[in-house]
Structure 1
Amino acid sequence: MAFDIAALGRWVALFRDRVSDEQERLTALDSAIGDADHGANMARGTAAAVAKLESATPTTVGEFGKAVGMALVSTVGGASGPLYGTFFLRFGASGGDGAELDGPALAAALRAGLEGVVSRGKAEPGDKTMIDAMTPAVDAFEAGASDLVSAARSAARAARAGSDATEPLVARKGRASYLGERSAGHLDPGSVSTALLFEALAAAAEEVSA
């Protein structure tokens, strides 16, 4: 079993749908510790990414990652655009000229995306950022990559647990860090949208296997 270009596109479409459904919640979370624009920004960016894929269907994983990454960079405001954009650009670069990704190759692409986000944002686990959801998700996917569907489900659960664990943390990166101790008691909105990203991946994997 593998993710072809259509399945990768479906992943992004499902991510868009989840972000759209959760837009108001993402905005409410961001209003507590940020600029109150994460929901709107992510909804706009994911819609633009899907539109880009529909207007010029990529033929390789590299083209897919570039299309999605550049759409997010150019349409999502704040730090989230460059971070999510870097994730998909690095993801695509890992897949290169291939037209599909099996479990291990998908794991490698996810790892490359994570490393790109870490390099760009300079955040570590525990800083109360999207890294708190993305790191355990990628770790979980890698651990079970031989079974793509199971790995994607595990990654989704790990991402959600990682996001939930940001609530008591004091932010050390990003705008929320300006609040100091007052940032505790709130979920990091970037970690919540990251959980949606991996839940969409799991849903796409289930569709592929059906």
Structure 2
Amino acid sequence: MDAEKIFNALNQIKISIDQHKDEIEKLDQEIGDGDHIFNIQRGINESLDLKDELSGQAPNEVLKKIGIKIMTTVGGSSGALFATLIMGMSKKYSSELTNQKNIASMFTEGVNAMKKRGKADLGEKTMLDVLIPVSIELEKLSDQKDVKLVAGNIKEVAEKGMLSTKNLIATKGRASFLGQRSKGHIDPGARSSQLAIEAICNTIINA
């Protein structure tokens, strides 16, 4: 893991999110306030703007500065939550660990920080319905040497988590005001999170 790989991953995420912009916006208009896609796109673009400045820096410093940038420039709850995820990940980086163990440990730390900040957990129709299962799967497969196998599994877990939100009743955020009416809709944060994870996994699978 290095700065270049982090920014390459961000670029792949940008491509996927941009391609699905209209879909995410529609999902958010159905159960949210309609600004999720704009906040996500702004966060990605602001992060990519740091590429030259952070080139060659240690991964934990890169992630920390990206998190701070998102926290200070992106509105909405998603901005604060994704910033918390990324800054949480930066705290757990260790050059002593292998890439896979590093990623599993960092991602779990970031997800736990997000859970704490958002006061949310699995089954509440949020992006955590994607991120928590992915963190569990990453930990489970942290010793697996076949990175393409790991990426394939993670991709499936993320998609399953995203689809699970359709039958859940929202208990957090704007969607919670809809109560039972939030059922039958995929959570936009879960969809954007799944797309981001899918983009990274596809890059690994197709390498």
Contact 2:3–2:54, Cα closer than 8 Å, also in 1 = no
CA distance in 2, matches of 1:206, 1:51: 27
Partner of 2:166 in structure 1? Answer: 167
Verify: 1:188 aligned to 2:187, yes or no. Answer: yes
Verify: 1:74 aligned to 2:101, yes or no. Answer: no
Partner of 1:136 in structure 2? Answer: 133
Contact 2:127–2:189, Cα closer than 8 Å, also in 1 = yes
Query: Match of 1:140, SS?
Result: helix
Which has the higher mean CA deviation after the structures are superposed, 98-107 or 9-18?
A: 98-107
Q: How does 1:1-210 map to 2 (within 5 A)?
A: 3-95=1-93, 98=95, 102-145=99-142, 146-147=144-145, 148-206=147-205, 210=207
Scaled by the length of structure 2, what TM-score is found?
0.92
Change (3 A) 1:144 1:35: same
State the 1:64 CA deviation. Answer: 1.4
Question: Unaligned stretches of 5+ in structure 2?
Answer: none
State the 1:143 CA deviation. Answer: 1.6
Contact 1:12–1:200, Cα closer than 8 Å, also in 2 = no
CA distance in 1, matches of 2:76, 2:189: 11
Contact 1:73–1:81, Cα closer than 8 Å, also in 2 = yes
**How many residues matched?**
205
Contact 1:137–1:154, Cα closer than 8 Å, also in 2 = no
State the 1:177 CA deviation. Answer: 0.4
Contact 1:144–1:150, Cα closer than 8 Å, also in 2 = no
State the 1:152 CA deviation. Answer: 2.6
State the 1:100 CA deviation. Answer: 8.5
Contact 2:2–2:56, Cα closer than 8 Å, also in 1 = no
Contact 1:153–1:199, Cα closer than 8 Å, also in 2 = no
Contact 2:165–2:187, Cα closer than 8 Å, also in 1 = yes
Contact 1:53–1:67, Cα closer than 8 Å, also in 2 = no
CA distance in 1, matches of 2:8, 2:69: 16
Contact 1:70–1:85, Cα closer than 8 Å, also in 2 = yes
Change (3 A) 1:86 1:99: farther
Which has the higher mean CA deviation after the structures are superposed, 8-17 or 109-118?
A: 8-17
Contact 1:7–1:204, Cα closer than 8 Å, also in 2 = no
State the 1:200 CA deviation. Answer: 2.3
Query: Match of 1:11, SS?
Result: helix
Contact 1:141–1:152, Cα closer than 8 Å, also in 2 = no
Q: Which amino acid aligns with 1:104?
A: K
Q: Which amino acid aligns with 1:139?
A: I
State the 1:206 CA deviation. Answer: 3.8
Could you list the per-position Cα deviations for residues 114-142 of structure 1 after superposition, in whole angstroms to 9, with x for gaps in the alignment?
11110110111110001101111111222
Question: Unaligned stretches of 5+ in structure 1?
Answer: none
State the 1:43 CA deviation. Answer: 0.9
Kindly, what percent of the aligned residue pairs are identical? Answer: 29
The RMSD of aligned alpha carbons is: 1.8
Change (3 A) 1:86 1:33: same
Change (3 A) 1:19 1:44: same
Change (3 A) 1:101 1:120: farther
